[in-house]
C-alpha cells in the first residue's frame, strides 16, 4: 500500500493530496464517490488527522473534492465532468445484487486483521504459517516438472490428482471410491457453494448443526434456503431431531461436520452415527459430510467419516487440504454419485471455467510424497501443544468465568462465558486491547460464547492473548 515518504522534501499533506488526485484520475474513486473519512485515512497512512484535513482542504480548494456536513467527502462531479457526463451510479449497482454480503462480524475481523499487524489472532480458522508444509511444497515445486499441458482441464479436476485421492481416501479415511466420483474443488467453501446453488432451489428446507460454521456463510441465505437447527450436545447432533425436522418441514438435505465439529470441537457419538445413518436411509435424505479436521486427531487415530460406512450412497463427502496442510493452495474435493459430480462440474465450468492446474499438480505431488506422514505428526503435536497452552491460560486467567470442554482434534476451542455479557462490547474491547476472536453468534449460537482458534497465532502469543482477553472481559463486566 502507498504511504507518504517522510524523507521527501515535499510536505506530507501535499504528497497525500497528489496521491488522492492520482487515484481519482485512475478511476479508483469515480466522480461522486465517497472518500475515506479523515480519521480512517490518517490511521491507514500512519499520519496525524490534521495532515489529512490539510490534504483534503487542498483538494477542495482545487475543486477536486467536496465535503458536506453529515455526508462525508466526495469526489466532485463538476471538476471531473466538464461536459455534463454521468458516471454510473456504482453505489446502486454495489447494493443492487441479489448475493448477500458477508456477516458483519467477519467483515470487521478481516478489516481489523488487515490494519493491525500486531493483533493476536484467535479468529482466523486456519493454521499458522509454521504449521503449513511450506518448505516441502516449495521443494516439490522446484524439483518436479509441471510441463506437459497448461490448457483447459477436465471439468472434474485434473486426473492425476483424482487418482491420487482415490488412494489417499482409502488409506487415510477408509473411503472406497473411484476417480470418476471425485470432483476437485478449491476447498469446502466451493463444495458447499456448488451444492447449495445447484442441488437445491430457493425455498428448500435444510438442516444445519446449531451452532455451526454454516451460519457464518451467507451463501445459504443467498440461495434462498430455509435453515432448521439441529442442536449439538456433547455427543453431537441427535438423530431423532432429523426425523422430526423432516416430518415438520420436509428438509431436503442435512449438513454435518461429525468429526471435531466447527465451532464446538464435538465428535459425533458412535451409537448416534449408526442411528443417524438408519434415519436418513429410512427417509431417503442426503447428508453433506464436511470432514476437514479428522487428520488432526491428537491421539493420532483419526475418527472414521460417516462416508466410510455409507453403504447406500446417502452421503456427499467433502474434504480439503486447507486445515491439514495449507489453506492458500485452495485444493479440496468432493466424493458423490457420478451424476451429482457431473452436474456440479458442469455448473462450475460456467462460474469460473474450472481450477488452475498448478495447485492441483502440487497437491497431487504432496499427497503422494513421503512428506505427508511426518507433516501430519508434527501438525498434531503442535496443535495439541497450543491447545494446552490455551487451556492453561484460560484456567489461570479466568478460572470462574469460563467453561469449556477440551477438544480432541481440530483447530478451535468453544468457550462459554459464564456471566451474562454483551458480545459486541466484549469483541470491541478485546480488539482495543490487541486480541481478536470469533463471537459465538457468528455460528448461530446464543450470546456469551466465543470460538478461540489456537492454530493460527504463534505459541508465544497464546498466554498474552488470553491475558488481554481476560482484561477485556473483566473490564466490561465491571
Q: Which residues pair with 209 in a beta bridge?
A: 230
Pick from 154, 270, 403, 422: which binds a second copy (CB under 8 A)? 154
Pick from 116, 126, 388, 428: which binds a second copy (CB under 8 A)? 126
Chain residues 235-274 in contact with a second copy, contact rule CB under 8 A: 252-253
In the complex with a second copy, which residue's Cβ is closer, 32 or 410?
32
Give the integer Cα–Cα distance in Å for 408 and 265: 7
Give the integer Cα–Cα distance in Å for 140 and 128: 21
Does 343 interact with a second copy (rule: CB under 8 A)? yes
Does 326 interact with a second copy (rule: CB under 8 A)? yes
Cell of residue 227, nine digits: 435453515
- The β-bridge relationship of strands 182-185 and 332-335 is antiparallel
Does 71 interact with a second copy (rule: CB under 8 A)? no
- For 86, phi then psi, to 5°, come to -120, 120
Site pattern 176..195 for a second copy (x: CB under 8 A): xxxxxx---xxx-xx--x--
Pick from 145, 234, 460, 478: which binds a second copy (CB under 8 A)? 145
User: Cα torsion at 355, 361, 367, 372 (round to 10°)?
Assistant: -110
In the complex with a second copy, which residue's Cβ is closer, 230 or 355?
355
Does 78 interact with a second copy (rule: CB under 8 A)? no
**H or E element that contains 68:** strand 65-68
Does 362 interact with a second copy (rule: CB under 8 A)? yes
Pick from 7, 46, 68, 202: which binds a second copy (CB under 8 A)? 202
In the complex with a second copy, which residue's Cβ is closer, 40 or 474?
40
Pick from 235, 250, 338, 405: which binds a second copy (CB under 8 A)? 338
Residues near 369 by beta carbon (within 8 Å), at least 6 away in sequence: 136, 140
Min. distance of Cβ 174 from a second copy in angstroms? 12
Tell the residue number behind the cell numbers 508465544, with chain if given: 460
**Residue 313: Cβ within 10 Å count:** 13
Does 369 interact with a second copy (rule: CB under 8 A)? no
Pick from 53, 57, 205, 219: which binds a second copy (CB under 8 A)? 219
Candidates 385, 390, 435, 382; CA nearest to 414 is 390
Give the integer Cα–Cα distance in Å for 269 and 251: 23
Does 198 interact with a second copy (rule: CB under 8 A)? yes
Candidates 124, 119, 105, 131; CA nearest to 465 is 119
Does 156 interact with a second copy (rule: CB under 8 A)? no
Pick from 107, 115, 396, 432: which binds a second copy (CB under 8 A)? 107
**Piece of the chain touching a second copy by CB under 8 A; list 49-57, 102-110, 228-236, 429-437:** 102-110
In the complex with a second copy, which residue's Cβ is closer, 120 or 417?
120
Pick from 46, 68, 70, 85: which binds a second copy (CB under 8 A)? 85
Pick from 14, 21, 23, 205: which binds a second copy (CB under 8 A)? 23
Taking CA atoms, 84 is separated from 32, 34, 78, 79, 87, in Å, by 13, 20, 8, 11, 10
Pick from 14, 37, 67, 102: which binds a second copy (CB under 8 A)? 102
Please tell me the total number of residues recorded for the chain in this structure: 478
Give the integer Cα–Cα distance in Å for 306 and 311: 10
**Piece of the chain touching a second copy by CB under 8 A; list 86-94, 243-251, 266-274, 412-420:** 86-94
Min. distance of Cβ 435 from a second copy in angstroms? 19
**Piece of the chain touching a second copy by CB under 8 A; list 227-235, 350-358, 414-422, 446-454:** 350-358
Candidates 252, 242, 309; CA nearest to 279 is 242
Does 44 interact with a second copy (rule: CB under 8 A)? no
Cell of residue 342, nine digits: 457431473
Taking CA atoms, 195 is separated from 56, 112, 225, 291, in Å, by 48, 31, 12, 16
Tell the residue number behind the cell numbers 451429482, with chain if given: 340
Does 101 interact with a second copy (rule: CB under 8 A)? yes
- Torsion 157-158-161-162 (CA) sign: positive
Does 81 interact with a second copy (rule: CB under 8 A)? yes
Pick from 150, 301, 309, 381: which binds a second copy (CB under 8 A)? 150
Min. distance of Cβ 190 from a second copy in angstroms? 4
Does 25 interact with a second copy (rule: CB under 8 A)? yes
Amino acid at each position: 500500500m502507498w504511504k507518504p515518504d517522510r524523507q521527501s522534501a515535499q510536505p506530507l499533506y501535499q504528497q497525500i493530496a497528489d496521491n488522492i488526485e492520482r487515484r481519482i484520475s485512475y478511476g479508483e474513486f469515480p466522480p461522486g464517490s465517497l472518500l475515506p473519512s479523515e480519521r480512517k485515512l490518517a490511521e491507514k497512512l500512519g499520519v496525524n488527522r490534521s495532515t489529512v484535513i490539510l490534504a483534503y482542504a487542498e483538494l477542495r480548494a482545487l475543486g477536486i473534492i467536496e465535503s458536506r456536513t453529515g455526508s462525508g467527502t466526495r469526489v466532485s462531479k463538476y471538476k471531473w465532468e466538464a461536459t455534463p457526463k454521468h458516471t454510473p451510479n456504482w453505489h446502486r449497482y454495489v447494493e443492487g445484487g441479489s448475493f448477500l454480503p458477508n456477516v458483519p462480524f467477519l467483515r470487521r475481523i478481516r478489516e481489523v486483521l488487515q490494519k493491525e499487524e500486531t493483533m493476536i489472532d484467535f479468529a482466523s480458522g486456519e493454521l499458522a504459517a509454521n504449521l503449513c508444509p511450506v518448505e516441502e511444497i516449495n521443494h516439490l515445486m522446484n524439483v518436479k516438472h509441471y510441463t506437459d499441458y497448461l490448457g483447459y482441464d477436465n471439468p472434474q479436476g485434473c486426473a492425476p490428482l483424482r487418482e491420487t485421492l482415490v488412494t489417499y481416501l482409502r488409506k487415510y479415511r477408509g473411503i472406497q471410491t473411484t476417480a470418476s466420483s471425485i470432483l476437485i474443488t478449491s476447498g469446502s467453501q466451493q463444495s458447499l457453494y456448488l451444492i447449495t446453488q445447484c442441488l437445491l432451489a430457493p425455498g428448500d428446507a435444510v438442516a444445519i448443526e446449531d451452532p455451526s460454521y454454516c451460519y457464518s456463510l451467507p451463501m445459504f441465505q443467498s440461495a434462498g434456503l430455509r435453515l432448521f437447527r439441529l442442536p449439538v450436545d456433547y455427543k453431537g447432533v441427535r438423530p431423532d431431531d432429523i426425523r422430526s425436522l423432516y416430518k415438520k418441514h420436509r428438509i431436503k438435505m442435512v449438513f454435518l461436520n461429525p468429526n471435531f465439529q466447527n465451532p464446538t470441537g464435538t465428535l459425533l457419538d458412535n451409537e448416534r452415527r449408526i442411528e443417524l445413518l438408519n434415519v436418513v436411509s429410512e427417509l431417503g435424505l442426503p447428508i453433506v459430510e464436511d470432514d476437514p479436521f479428522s487428520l488432526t486427531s491428537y491421539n493420532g487415530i483419526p475418527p472414521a467419516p460417516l462416508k466410510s460406512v455409507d453403504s447406500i450412497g446417502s452421503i456427499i463427502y467433502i474434504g480439503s487440504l486447507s486445515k491439514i496442510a495449507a489453506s492458500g493452495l485452495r485444493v479440496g474435493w468432493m466424493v458423490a454419485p457420478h451424476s451429482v459430480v457431473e452436474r456440479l462440474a458442469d455448473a462450475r465450468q460456467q462460474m469460473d471455467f474450472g481450477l488452475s492446474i498448478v495447485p492441483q499438480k502440487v497437491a497431487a505431488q504432496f499427497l503422494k510424497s513421503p512428506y505427508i506422514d511426518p507433516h501430519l505428526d508434527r501438525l498434531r503435536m503442535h496443535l495439541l501443544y497450543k491447545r494446552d497452552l490455551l487451556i492453561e491460560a484460560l484456567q489461570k486467567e479466568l478460572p470462574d468465568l469460563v467453561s469449556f470442554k477440551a477438544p480432541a482434534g481440530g483447530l478451535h476451542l468453544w468457550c462459554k462465558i459464564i456471566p451474562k455479557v454483551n458480545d459486541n462490547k466484549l469483541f470491541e474491547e478485546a480488539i482495543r486491547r490487541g486480541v481478536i476472536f470469533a463471537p459465538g453468534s457468528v455460528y448461530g449460537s446464543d450470546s456469551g460464547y466465543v470460538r478461540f482458534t489456537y492454530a493460527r497465532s504463534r505459541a508465544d502469543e497464546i498466554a498474552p492473548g488470553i491475558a488481554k482477553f481476560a482484561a477485556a472481559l473483566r473490564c466490561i463486566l465491571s
